[in-house]
A and B are shown apart, each in its own frame.
Chain A
Amino acid sequence: MNTPKQRQHVGKSYKKVDAATILSGRAAYTEDLIPPHALVIKILRSPHAMAKILDIDLKSALRLPGVEAIYTYKDVPQVRFTLAGQSFPEPSAYDTLILDQYVRYVGDGVAIVVAVDEKTALQAMQMIRVTYDVMEPVLDIHTALDHPTVVHPEEDLHYNMPVGGDPKRNLACSYSRVTGDIEGELAKCDYVVAGTYFDQATSQSAMETFRTFCNIDQFGRLVCTSSTQIPFHARRHIARALQIPAAKVRVIKPRIGGGFGSKQTACTELYCAFVTWTLKKPAVLIYDRHEANNCSTSRHAREWQIRLGATKDGIIQVIDMVAISDAGAYGTHAFTTFTAGEHKSVPLYNKGKAVRYESNIVYTNHMAGGAFRGYGATEALWPLECAVTKLAKKMGMDEIELRLKNLINVGETSLVYAPDEVLESGLLKEAIARAKEMARWDERPHSWQIDDTHRGGLGIALAFQGSGVANVDTASVEIKLQDDGYYTLYTGSTDMGTGSNTVLMQMACEVLGCPMEHMTCYEADTDVVPFDPGSYASSTTYVTGTAAKLAAEDLRAKLIRTFAKYMEVSESDIEFDGIMAHTKDGKQTMTTQELAPKLMVSFGHEAEQLVGFATWGSHTSPPPFMVGIAEVSVDTETGQVTPLDYYAVVDCGTVVNPALAKVQAEGGIVQGIGMALTEDIRYSPKGRLETNNFMTYKIPTRLDMGRLHVDFVESHEPTGAFGVKSIGEVVINTSCPAIQGAILNACGAELTTLPMNSEKVFQALMAKE
């Protein structure tokens, strides 16, 4: 294997292999590929947060010319499933139907309207009369448990594994792990800080909204083309929901316009699949922005009670985190987003004696929670990092010094790790040192007056994440030598713009030795590619990438064996650069382009198309690490916070493509800035979403994020191909607590509720006075 200095491809900033096409405007995305004459689907939605449908009158709507069909809960299979994209045994509750007699949030599906065009479908929708039995909705996480209204009264709700749920009490699931004696250790601590912190529901807001078209292929099978992160999971969902064999379903993902976890939950797929399967006609469903914000999934809102205890030597002895989490109307990712947060936050500080991590995750009549970049870690690191800063202030210590004193070291374990689990790699202290240097942390005050009405401040936060789900995420990769001597890499991972196809090819070409131009990548078509859970959980570079390396090694070995056979020498006599093989004495040469056609016929030698294949999953989920230092300005008259600079250092193991990794970091930081300062899913007192467009749900523009400064330190993760870990999610985790710390330093306002908008900052400033 080439050492880092000799590597040809890994570590090089290649342009994304699809860049030229997607930037040319040529057809590439789902909407560009809709078959002609596809019927248009629209969903009639509930105006009530919780209601039972008593009657639906379709008569006049069905008479409208151009209406093809209208379906209600009476027409769909009554088998519950989950829309969450997760591998066996699917920890999310089976609590969903394509359409249900109960509607559980404002925007829940009531009827599927199918027409020849959008205008007709919209007109027909207006003509449907629905009679509801409206119930008192559950809109507050504090009163959800044992509320008179049961969000899921049905008897057939089902869990595949125990997740501490009790739906009749509106308890979607629950988790509690206590290690050590929390109260006893706290009593021994010299310093204790406590606080209540709230992190809000936020919208992933991918620029391409949810969309799917379906058609029937020549074999009578259902082909579903969709903007999804999870083709194989979506195929399984469709099969279960329609009660047909998965073999009858093919799911294809074209180029997609962003995901950030939102497309790790099926959305438009089920409605569209039902329509096409029922009518045997092509159909399309595209959500507008209003629907995308209102009728998908968000980050779960959580309210945390946190206590940290430290002894006077500066050791954090106790981490006590208890939350109430909002599952929303359905249990998609409700359990795992919470549990994942434990493993990705608490281990940062591993010197203590007691940890509690606990939450009730309650059903409410809000839009369901789901997966959003960070997947529970962002949520858990918010209270933890704010509380560590608070503790440092109380102890009169520098915020970074306290963190360094308690930071986990390579080779060490944590109270929340598995018995044999240790941190295998990480240049944590080096990353912190580099970030301090970039921000000039030691050379300047962390709080200063900018002008008469503005104060400046610096704040810091650390973050972990994972790389795939340990013992669960398992990817297969296939690489074929085609008849022209070029390679095709087949993967079920789903490049959503991150450049993962490019990164996988870099890793495979590194092994084979060939230039990138000698390989193409085909992805995310369940009929063609080997199984992959999809791109989520920061798994693609680490899990699928390692499978790609192993598949390339498999193919390389087969190639060398075959060249040796054709040249009639031993394998050890062959040298191969990915294109040309030659014998060590230099007397014989043969290229893959000369070899490949010979393999496709059977005279001379036995015909054999050479295919490299590998399946790989990891026993561990190595954490990437990030340090974020935020520099902000606070307007002390209005409470307005302006990000000035953000200094970030990431250890994602070996950086495969520096340009793409840097943009991952920058994009994550800015999404985090949005969560910190402006993004907020808000509901009216009756449960109607008030932030269903980009006017009311404010994601950062390019004038809202200040300047970003990103650097990397590269540790070598022994379990990952070429030493890789992950980058996709860790990068969103520091923004909220680092900015909170910066505001605190700037003006003394202690914010505990996200987003930290000017109103809240102003109130905190007033409270201080």
Chain B
Amino acid sequence: MDIKLIVNGKTVSVNVEADEMLLTTLRNQGFFSMRRGCDTLNCGLCTVWLDGDTILSCSYPTFRAAGHEITTLEGLAEEASLLADCLAAEGADQCGYCTTGMMMSAMALRRKNPNPTDEEIKEFLVGNLCRCTGYESHLRGIRRYLGEVQK
């Protein structure tokens, strides 16, 4: 079916199968910041925003996203670059494969709660798994980023 998606503020026309998931559609459009890490909605690697809320694009049928505002990491370039820099300063990127999905959650958290406690950060990001870092460096990087944004 032919549908229109609004990705990072731009309208794109795509032809999708009824069972196609948003993750596949976005990757086919050349957005690579979201990835598949599991088959069971556990890992959070595919996190994007739908109308400003985080969703797991691996299990979101593309046709349901028609007409909604989809935001990917690529669409938040400036803020994402600041967050990336703060994470990199802590060595928190490591393999990087899960990091971009986690960044989408972290930037969503800031919009909902600009002054979260450590526990609130951990709870909000609990659906973003990481196998490399042991998570502590994420926390340090996000603290650094929240401080930078408030400057």
Contacts and interface: CB of A to CB of B under 8 A. Distances in A.
Interface of A: 13, 15-16, 18-20, 22-29, 31-32, 204-209, 255-258, 260, 288-290, 496-499, 657, 659-660, 662-663, 665-671, 693-695, 699, 701-703, 705, 707-708
B32 A663 contact: no
Given A257-B96, A258-B97, A701-B126, A663 B40 contact: no
A351 B97 CA distance: 46
B83 to A, nearest CB: 8
B92 A701 contact: no
Interface string B1-21: 000000000000000000000
Contacts of B112: none
Nearest to A695: B40
A496 B89 CA distance: 18
Given A207-B37, A670-B135, A705-B135, A16 B84 contact: no
Contact of A497 (B100, B128, B132): B132
Contacts of B73: 24-25
A429 B135 CA distance: 29
Nearest to B125: A702
Contact of A208 (B95, B100, B130): B95
Contacts of B99: 22-23
Contacts of A32: 32
Contact of A708 (B122, B123, B136): B136
B32 to A, nearest CB: 5
Given A289-B37, A663-B90, A207 B98 contact: yes
8 contacts: A16-B91, A24-B80, A25-B31, A26-B32, A208-B95, A670-B133, A671-B131, A707-B136
Contact of B134 (A205, A207, A209, A667): A667
Nearest to B87: A23
Given A16-B93, A663-B92, A705-B135, 11 more contacts: A20-B88, A25-B31, A31-B27, A208-B37, A258-B97, A497-B95, A660-B91, A695-B40, A699-B129, A702-B135, A702-B139
Interface residues of B, number: 54
Contact of B93 (A19, A288, A693, A702): A19
Contacts of A20: 81, 84-85, 88
Given A25-B72, A670-B135, A497 B126 contact: no
A27 B37 contact: no
Given A496-B95, A499-B91, A207 B131 contact: yes
Nearest to B135: A702
Contacts of A496: 95
B25 interface: no
A56 B60 CA distance: 37
Interface string B78-121: 00110011011111111111111001000000000000000000
A116 B150 CA distance: 51
A257 B32 contact: no
B80 A23 contact: yes
A544 B92 CA distance: 23
A497 B98 CA distance: 11
